[in-house]
Chain A
Amino acid sequence: MQEATFLILTALADSSQHGYGIIAEVGQISEGRVRLRAGTLYTALDRLRTDELIVVDREEIVENRLRRYYRLTPKGSDLLAAEAARLQANAAAALSRLDLAGGTA
């Protein structure tokens, strides 16, 4: 899974978000390291909807502009959980080996 996709799913993990909200959340989660642009975001959203990982939650009109809120589907939650566990296991293995290397140096 690409990092942008992982971060978008993470942004939707605890609540539904609209497009600009997802961009802001991703910036916050990555501590400013990843700055999503609209084109990248909507390419990802289109693919995630096709794969049934997210769905439209609701729509609002704010200041004459359409806001469409997205949320994770159960399938999306499962995939995100599996990917997070995989990344966590990889990170733990890397840290463990680094500790081992540091100990023997």
Chain B
Amino acid sequence: MTESALERRYRWLLAWYPHRFRREQEDEMLAVLMAGAAKGQRRPGLRETADVLRSALGMRLSRALRLERENRRWTDALALFSVVAPVFVVMVALLEVALPYHLPGADRSPFLFQRQGSVTQIGGLSLLNAPFFDVALGLQVIVAAFALLGWRRLTLIAMASSVGYWIVYWVVFRYGISQVPDAPQLLTASAYILGATAMLASPGPPRGRQLVNWRHWAVLLPAAGLVQVLTLVSYARSRFAETATLIRYDAATRTSTWRMLKQPDISGYLVIGAVLAVAVISLALVFKVNRYLLLLLAAMFYSYAIQLAFSGIFRPGDVGADLLRMPTPGHLALLFAPPLLLACGGILSGLLPPRPRAATPPGRQV
């Protein structure tokens, strides 16, 4: 069927509609226009033309406004993240010091057998004397302070210094920081990768400190507690499993008798962890926290969660699967590729023109 002159002119009018509308409904609307046309009509009527143009331009305008609102929410989420992520890192570090776990009986055992990687204590005040941790915590506090003050450039510089210190220490003294749990370090790395991106792709801390309020901290405080509890549970399942104490040594036969130290009961921690997880989710829902901010926080937790999953939480005593023990390029890609890809996407989204997204129902978000 050849296209009539009237149909061609209607199509020209319909070209004024947004692309997405045309893709879905151009043929349907053309059928309605053709059905309403008088016999022998060759061109659209004046009122009909005005009606279609008004509708098309109105639809373009309303979609542009909706898109603008969506983009503002995303930009605000990035700005908020650039402030809350550095502070969250400090919260986690302080809770590592404040909520330690000692393997029962380890302090009374003069002769301990520990397989490489096994430990007798997680966290606590001794962390402040541990190599790496004190300087790392100091840098994290500086990053958080700069972010809260809204100093974007200084925050970025302090963040880069902190990451640089971590990388150098990790490469040079890999086993020198075994007292400091790996998983929270990964959380810090992800927080800084994404935080730096958020600062580059949005107004950053100057805007973030205007938006941040007590509701965000009310959600993040139990989340920091949850991180510490999960860290303890994970390490209790993996790193404590190979610790034994010498109970007898027979010089004649040169044989030693070892007794495995009592393994920690983690059921209490699991209950506390579940309560904290429910509290975090409930508070985020009640306070209607910006869903893009929640997405960024979820991405921040990715490396941490992967490391925990592979560090023996499901297989007690098995530290062989620990991704950071003997890291391969594949391990590092698994740990860091998703947050890095998200960071690249975030930077690109700031450079490229926005693409249409589905409209969301209006609602107050913090």
Q: Are A39 and B359 in contact (CB under 8 A)?
A: no
In the docked arrangement, what's the CA distance between A43 and B28, Å? 13
Query: Is chain B's binding surface mostly helix, strand, loop or mixed?
Result: helix
B-side contacts of A68, CB under 8 Å: 25, 28
In the docked arrangement, what's the CA distance between A37 and B53, Å? 12
Query: Does B349 make an interface contact (CB < 8 A)?
Result: no
Query: Does A33 make an interface contact (CB < 8 A)?
Result: no
In the docked arrangement, what's the CA distance between A68 and B32, Å? 10
Q: Are A66 and B359 in contact (CB under 8 A)?
A: no
**Known contacts A43-B59, A64-B1; is-contact A38 B28 (Cβ 8 Å):** no
Q: Are B54 and A39 in contact (CB under 8 A)?
A: yes
Q: Are A65 and B52 in contact (CB under 8 A)?
A: no
Name the contact of A50 in the complex, choosing from B29, B36, B54, B359 (C-beta under 8 A).
Answer: B359
Query: Does B34 make an interface contact (CB < 8 A)?
Result: yes
Most chain A CB atoms below 10 A, which of B27, B32, B33 = B32
Query: Does A2 make an interface contact (CB < 8 A)?
Result: no
Query: Does B39 make an interface contact (CB < 8 A)?
Result: no
In the docked arrangement, what's the CA distance between A46 and B29, Å? 12
Name which residue of chain B comes closest to A43, CB basis.
B55
Name the contact of B48 in the complex, choosing from A18, A19, A38, A64 (C-beta under 8 A).
Answer: A38
In the docked arrangement, what's the CA distance between A24 and B51, Å? 17
**Known contacts A42-B55, A46-B59; is-contact A19 B47 (Cβ 8 Å):** no
Q: Are A67 and B28 in contact (CB under 8 A)?
A: yes
**Known contacts A20-B35, A46-B21, A50-B359; is-contact A39 B27 (Cβ 8 Å):** no
| A51-102 contacts to B (CB < 8 Å) | 64-68
A-side contacts of B58, CB under 8 Å: 43
In the docked arrangement, what's the CA distance between A56 and B58, Å? 22
B-side contacts of A65, CB under 8 Å: 27, 30-31, 34-35
Name which residue of chain B comes closest to A64, CB basis.
B1
**Interchain nearest-CB distance for A84 vs B (Å):** 24
Q: Are B29 and A42 in contact (CB under 8 A)?
A: yes
B-side contacts of A20, CB under 8 Å: 31-32, 35-36
28 contacts between A and B (CB under 8 A): A19-B28, A20-B35, A20-B36, A23-B32, A23-B36, A37-B51, A37-B52, A38-B29, A38-B32, A38-B33, A38-B36, A38-B52, A38-B55, A39-B51, A39-B53, A39-B56, A41-B32, A42-B29, A42-B55, A43-B58, A46-B21, A64-B1, A65-B31, A65-B34, A65-B35, A67-B28, A67-B31, A68-B25
Mark A residues whose CB is within 8 Å of B. Answer: 18-20, 23, 37-43, 46, 50, 64-68
Mark B residues whose CB is within 8 Å of A. Answer: 1, 21, 25, 27-36, 47-48, 51-56, 58-59, 359
New contact pairs (5) apart from A38-B32, A65-B27, CB-CB < 8 Å:
A19-B32, A20-B35, A39-B55, A42-B25, A42-B32
